[in-house]
Amino acid sequence: MTSKERVLTAFAREVPDRVPMNYFANPGIDKRLKQHYGLAENDRDGLRERLGVDFREISAPYVGPKLHAEVPDRTVDMWGIHRRWIAHSSGGYWDYCDFPLQHADVETVSHWPMPDPDDFDYDAAAAQCDLFAPYCVVLGNPGLGDVINSTGMIRTMEQTLVDLMIDEPATLLYIKRKTAVQLEVARRTLETAKGKIDVLWMGEDLGTQRGPLISPALYQKHLRPIHQQFVDLAKAFDLPVMVHSCGSSSWAFDHFIDMGVSVVDTLQPEAKDMSPAYLKSRYGDRLAFHGCLSTAGVVAYGSYEETVQNVCDTLEIMMPGGGYAFAPTHQLQDNSPTENVVAMYETAHRCGVYG
């Protein structure tokens, strides 16, 4: 099978030739993996080829004017979200900070600069599709259609959760404006790509480690109508939808199924009601799965042998009947030993073959 055929077969809950594979990593471990395989530091696709990755993500680049002022020691994106570099013993990461709309009212939000859908290069996205034609071409990411996490990046998580509960007009306006832009950019990208995109990937973090982040009623009131727009867009182009959700999020899977979602992503096995056995037995006849290999578990803190066993155990549960794509739950972290990450993919290639 080609990578494209392999993924689409698995996402249709049928049996491919082998389990499809995906890869996400922080810069530190990504650099070490390239060194391990003798690849150049900028050889992104070379590493994916070496690991046997079947997915390629594409997007329409923003090419419009700069919308927000630069801030010293920060990055500022097109939405006005601020990030600062946080260093730690094994590397570092970009963390959200400053929260420029934390105390904003409706007037401020209504005038907050946001990108114009006219200012994206849709032809560049279509060219990416041509470049990655043999692979499963994915449009989107965990931030597409995301309400809570993305709004928390600019208004704080606490304020966002409170605002959703009290129907705060400023926050609801921000969410409406941002998701409208995202939806239109996604629509134009799909139109320009002319059938060359295979999956729409969106997200919403809905769980803590112990249970739901919000009530089902709040999800139904504020989030599901937004998510449904993205699912409906994908269905208009006959595409499966994959939803990323962190933590104990299986409580929302029945909502996803009812909306028309085909695949759930992340699947943190250490969270409540998220073990591979629980998910496969309860939802395996209605959903395909992408993830399950915890980046906060054995691959980071265990031995080589424990990593191999963890991969084998996960595959043994998730493979039967198809419907599974091998992937880390989140970006592999800088504290993951290189040999453990190599073991993940070598074991998946060895044990993830059907027949």
The pLDDT of residue 310 is above 90: yes
Average pLDDT over residues 82-93: 91
What pLDDT shows up at residue 275? 97
Instruction: List Cα–Cα distances, 207 to 115, 125, 330, in angstroms.
Output: 30, 32, 14
124/192 Cα distance (integer angstroms): 10
- CATH value at residue 172: 3.20.20.210
Interior/surface letters 212-247, b for 16+ CB within 10 angstroms, e for the rest? bbbeeebbeebbbebbbbbbebbeebebbbbbbbbb
The pLDDT of residue 281 is above 90: yes
57: nearest Cα among 200, 235, 241, 245? 200
CB 4 within 8 A of CB 135: yes
The pLDDT of residue 163 is above 90: yes
Q: Give the model's confidence band at 84: pLDDT under 50 very low, under 70 low, under 90 confident, else very high.
A: very high
The pLDDT of residue 263 is above 90: yes
Q: Which two tokens stand for residue 45?
A: 């696709």
Place of tokens 């997200």: 203
Average pLDDT over residues 54-74: 98
Q: Give the model's confidence band at 12: pLDDT under 50 very low, under 70 low, under 90 confident, else very high.
A: very high
The DSSP code for 35 is H
Average pLDDT over residues 323-349: 97
Report yes or no on 176 lying in a domain. Answer: yes
321: left (phi over 0), alpha (psi -120 to 50) or beta: left
Report yes or no on 287 lying in a domain. Answer: yes
Report yes or no on 83 lying in a domain. Answer: no
Q: Which two tokens stand for residue 172?
A: 């609801």
Report yes or no on 241 lying in a domain. Answer: yes
CB 228 within 8 A of CB 169: no
Domain membership of residue 230 as a residue range = 3-65+109-351
Please compute, for residue 324, the number of CA atoms within 13 A of its CA located in the half-sphere on the CB side: 29
Q: Which two tokens stand for residue 288?
A: 């395909």
The pLDDT of residue 88 is above 90: no
Bridge-based pairing state of the strands 241-245 and 199-203: parallel
Report yes or no on 100 lying in a domain. Answer: no
Average pLDDT over residues 213-230: 98
The pLDDT of residue 215 is above 90: yes
What pLDDT shows up at residue 92? 87
Q: Which two tokens stand for residue 338?
A: 């290189």
Residue type, 88: H
Domain count, the chain: 1
Place of tokens 């046997």: 52
CB 123 within 8 A of CB 189: no
Average pLDDT over residues 75-83: 98
Taking the CA atoms of 195, 326, 23 and 33 in sequence, report the sign of the dihedral they define. Answer: negative
29/257 Cα distance (integer angstroms): 35
Does this model's pTM top 0.85? yes
Q: Provide, rounded to the nearest whole percent, the portion of the chain with pLDDT above 70.
A: 100
> Residues 148, 151, 157, 159: what is their CA dihedral angle, to the nearest 10 degrees?
-110
The pLDDT of residue 355 is above 90: no
Interaxial angle between packed helices 304-318 and 338-351, expressed in degrees from 0 to 180 and rounded to the nearest 10:
30
Mean pLDDT of the residues in the chain: 97
Bridge-based pairing state of the strands 136-140 and 199-203: parallel
Report yes or no on 96 lying in a domain. Answer: no
The pLDDT of residue 89 is above 90: no
Average pLDDT over residues 263-288: 98
Report yes or no on 75 lying in a domain. Answer: no
The pLDDT of residue 198 is above 90: yes
By CB atoms closer than 10 A (0-12, 13-18, 19+), residue 33 is buried
What pLDDT shows up at residue 90? 83
